[in-house]
Copies of this chain bind each other. A is one copy, B any other.
């Protein structure tokens, strides 16, 4: 694949300087319109009350003794020798209220910092999928070369607002893999970095690497959230040891924990949307309350990943009506607690085709209407999380860019109302050559990166290339446009040495 990419670049050079992909600029994105509320205030209160009853009466399993001790020391009635912990709602509500409403997540390049909270929207790419595919190379297991290319796309695409572990490079030994996952983000991009919180040592190393990459002291790091992680509960109602170790480390360092129960309705959660949301809310608030107990004021995000399963196969479905409702409701719950919100653009399709597109489009609208602050998996997710697709990245980019432009407010000033221009053209005329048009036409409309608006005959005579195949051209061109971001040589050396040393020491397991 790399070779053919270089060949393509060579071809383009032969044809003369190629125009860059007409991306939107790097920009702050907000949804300036009210969120879409599908639950009334009483319904929100009903979900809250039900989830509090779950935490009070059923409780959740906290598998790490140290975590139970922290809770006990804060007044939670922990029974010695029992992993099950039941929470008083007063404790939960007080702890959750300590979480900050809005904050900045820092990147190693300050121009890449992003605000989380309010009506800010940040799009993050696909994360954690074990396979990868492109049209010509086919589907293959996650590997470092593809992980690097995906990160290069994350860097070059302006609508990608931060990094994720975009692919699981399964060829790398799990004990050292996390060093490559974080290291490649820091070397190949200058955007926000992500670390897996699977055990104490792994996340400590990730925090160290980000601190080195930013060239800051531990004291500054403690003031400036600079790395983020996701904690998926073991739904239903369980937090395991590596997860809790990760949360403790991240909270103690004041770093960002995105708590995201994986509550598939009908499988790990009740079959009803209201029930799945009740469980999601109980699990999310318990974990968030735990983080706020470790360190009050820790930046946390209320994550939702509720969808339904295919009742024929038990496999997860995405972009469904149930998914749309869960995303919108999750946003309402997050706003109820004044917490930043995370949800996702996801699909269960096997190919970057119409199904992948409509399931993602439904997800996209729900995330935006639900005032999602961190939109995960916005670029390239496929197969319900089993594969990342290069072509899908280009398709998703067109959709996300369309949405970003659609959210820009309309200008209703007098010249834009064009009463004089309409008078000048008059009945039966046209506006093509008018001054009002000429002054604005270059920037008036969104220019697509992938859509082909030529007529059928022209499109057909040019090979009848469908959108998925055009997407190959787009991601390849974007990859060709990639430039390695600057990094101070001293920092690069220190980071390289850190990774080399930790690899020599054997990395870390989830138990470390």
* Chain A residues in the interface with B (C-beta under 8 A): 33-34, 36-39, 42-43, 46-47, 50, 53-54, 57-61, 84, 131, 139, 234, 236-238, 265-276, 278-279, 282, 308-315, 317, 319-322, 324-325, 329, 348-359, 361-362, 365, 369, 383-384, 386-387, 395, 398-399, 402-406, 408-413, 416-419, 421-423, 425-432, 436-437, 440-442, 444-446, 448, 450-456, 459-460, 464, 466-468, 471
Q: A285: shortest Cβ distance to chain B, in Å?
A: 14
Q: Could you tell me if A324 and B406 are in contact, using CB atoms closer than 8 angstroms?
A: yes
Q: Considering only CB atoms, which chain B residue lies closest to A392 in the complex?
A: B354
Roughly how many angstroms separate A320 CA and B270 CA in the complex, as a whole number? 38
A365 to chain B, nearest CB (A): 5
In the assembly, what is the distance between CA of A471 and CA of B266, in Å? 28
Report chain B residues within 8 Å CB of A361. 357-358, 361-362, 365, 399
A445-B266, A455-B383 known; A351+B422 contact, CB < 8 A: no
A403 to B325, alpha carbons, bound, how many Å? 11
Cβ-defined partner of A471 (8 Å) among B131, B274, B354, B405: B354
Can you list the 8 inter-chain pairs with the closest CB atoms, starting with the nearest? A275-B418, A321-B405, A361-B361, A270-B418, A237-B427, A354-B467, A50-B417, A61-B427
Minimum CB–CB distance for A242 against chain B, Å: 16
Complex interface: chain B residues within 8 A of A238 (CB): 427-428
Task: Name the distance in Å between A318's Cβ and chain B's nearest Cβ.
Answer: 9
Q: Which residue of B lies closest to A279 (CB)?
A: B422
If A266-B431, A428-B237 touch, whether A349 touches B57 (CB-CB below 8 Å) is no
Contacts of A412 in B (CB 8 A): 39, 42-43, 46-47, 274
Q: Looking across the interface, which residue of chain B has its beta carbon closest to that of A49?
A: B417
**CB-CB under 8 A for A399 and B322, given A348-B453, A428-B234, A452-B350:** no
Q: Which residues of B contact A425 (CB under 8 A)?
A: 236
If A383-B455, A386-B455, A410-B39 touch, whether A441 touches B311 (CB-CB below 8 Å) is yes
Question: Which residues of the other chain, B, contact A38 by a CB distance below 8 angstroms?
Answer: 33, 409-410
Q: Are A57 and B431 in touch, CB under 8 angstroms?
A: no
Subset of 20 A-B contacts with CB under 8 Å:
A36-B36, A43-B410, A46-B417, A236-B426, A236-B428, A236-B429, A236-B431, A238-B428, A265-B445, A268-B431, A269-B431, A270-B418, A282-B422, A308-B445, A321-B408, A350-B464, A353-B467, A361-B361, A362-B399, A383-B456
Which residues of B sit under 8 angstroms from A46, Cβ to Cβ? 412, 417
A322 touches B446 (CB 8 A): yes
Within the complex, the shortest CB–CB distance from A325 to chain B, in Å, comes to 6
A228–B309 alpha-carbon span in the complex (Å): 42
Q: Say yes or no: A466 contacts B353, CB within 8 Å.
A: yes
Q: How far is the CB of A353 from chain B (nearest CB, A)?
A: 4
Number of copies: 2
Task: Assess A402 versus B362: contact at CB under 8 Å? Given A267-B431, A355-B467, A421-B270.
Answer: yes
Whether the Cβ atoms of B272 and A411 lie closer than 8 Å is: yes
Contact A453 B315 (CB under 8 A): yes
Among residues of B, the one whose C-beta sits closest to the C-beta of A466 is B353
Contact partners of A325 in chain B: CB under 8 A: 406, 410
Docked-complex contact A349 and B451, CB < 8 angstroms: yes
Residue among B278, B384, B386, B436 making CB contact with A275, cutoff 8 Å: B436
CB < 8 Å neighbour of A445 from B319, B322, B354: B322
Decide: B60 and A436 in contact? CB cutoff 8 A. no
Complex CA distance for A403 and B425, rounded to whole angstroms? 40
Q: How far is the CB of A201 from chain B (nearest CB, A)?
A: 26
Additional A-B contact list (16), CB under 8 Å, known A279-B418, A348-B453: A33-B36, A42-B412, A50-B419, A60-B427, A234-B428, A236-B429, A236-B430, A237-B427, A237-B428, A270-B437, A272-B418, A272-B436, A274-B418, A317-B453, A355-B398, A384-B453
Assembly CA distance A361 to B355 (angstroms): 11
Q: For the complex, give the distance between the alpha carbons of A416 and B39 in Å.
A: 14
**A358, B270: Cβ atoms closer than 8 Å:** no
Nearest CB of B to A62, in Å:
10
